[in-house]
Structure 1
Amino acid sequence: MKALRIEAEIDSPEIYFNPDTKVFSISGISHPENAKEFYQQILDWLDEYYEFIKNQEPSKIIVDLNFRYINSTSYKYLRDVLRKISSFRSANFEVEVIWNYHEEDEELLHEGVVLFELPDINLPYKCIPYN
């Protein structure tokens, strides 16, 4: 299966979901003009990926998130992405999320913690500050 790679734009993050390494990375600024269209391509890829892996030997998927800024609409779609990734656990895949945030951005830290504690997501996560 091919990796999903979307180059960062001024208002949208870089996406690199590598099916070989099982590292799914989203980084940068997320306030695309059409968040639904932008995130739908990720959701579609995840549907294909699930079909690809569901009968494979379970392994670990790492989701590496590093937003400098995320608007509320993107946050809603990120929740959909994480909900879908969380469902991979039904095929016995382990999922771990890394939420990178600038050490002075308490709001972004809080948004990550709230997101991962939602009952429909409830994924193991680490919050890692950087400066």
Structure 2
Amino acid sequence: MEPLYLEATKDTPEVVLDPGKNIFRISQRSLPENANKFYQPIIEWISFFSDAPQGDIYFDFMLDYINTSSSKQITKILLLLEYMANKVKITIRWHYRRDDKDMLLTGERFAKLIKVNFEFFEM
């Protein structure tokens, strides 16, 4: 499967979905004007990949900030990862800055929503 790379902008995160290198990461800021439009190709890619995932998957969220509409799209991604966890081992690695308790709490809320292993890392 072809990897998906999206470069970060001032309003959108960097996205790296590369099964060949076993890198699955969304990082930086997520406050796109239209979160549905931005996340649509990401959700489609993950949905397609979820049909035949291979090996253990570690999905890193390294976000500095997410707005409400991005949070809804990330929930969709997490639900797809939960579905994949029936086929392979999935671990969500939620990274947050030491001084950013809001991002830690956001990750903890997501962890309560889905039945996938969550790990938290202070940056």
- Extract unaligned runs of 5+ from structure 1: none
Query: Does 2:66 correspond to 1:84?
Result: no
Counterpart of 2:35? 35
Paired positions, count: 123
The structure with the largest alpha-carbon Rg is 1
Deviant stretches of 4+, over 6 Å:
none
- Root-mean-square deviation (CA), in Å? 1.2
Give the distance between the partners of 2:100 and 2:47, measured in 1 at CA: 33
Q: Which of 108, 119, 123 is residue 126 of structure 1 equivalent to?
A: 119
User: CA deviation digits over 1:8-60, x for unaligned, max 9?
Assistant: 01100000011113321000100001100111111110122123x25xxx520
Secondary structure of the 1:9 match is coil
Secondary structure of the 2:64 match is strand
TM-score, normalised relative to structure 2: 0.94
Aligned sequence identity (%): 29
TM-score, normalised relative to structure 1: 0.89
Give the distance between the partners of 2:61 and 2:99, measured in 1 at CA: 17
Counterpart of 1:23? 23
Give the distance between the partners of 1:23 and 1:37, measured in 2 at CA: 23
| Residue 88 of structure 1, CA deviation | 0.6
Counterpart of 2:60? 64
Q: Which of 111, 114, 119 is residue 116 of structure 1 equivalent to?
A: 111
Deviating more after overlay: 3-12 vs 16-25:
16-25
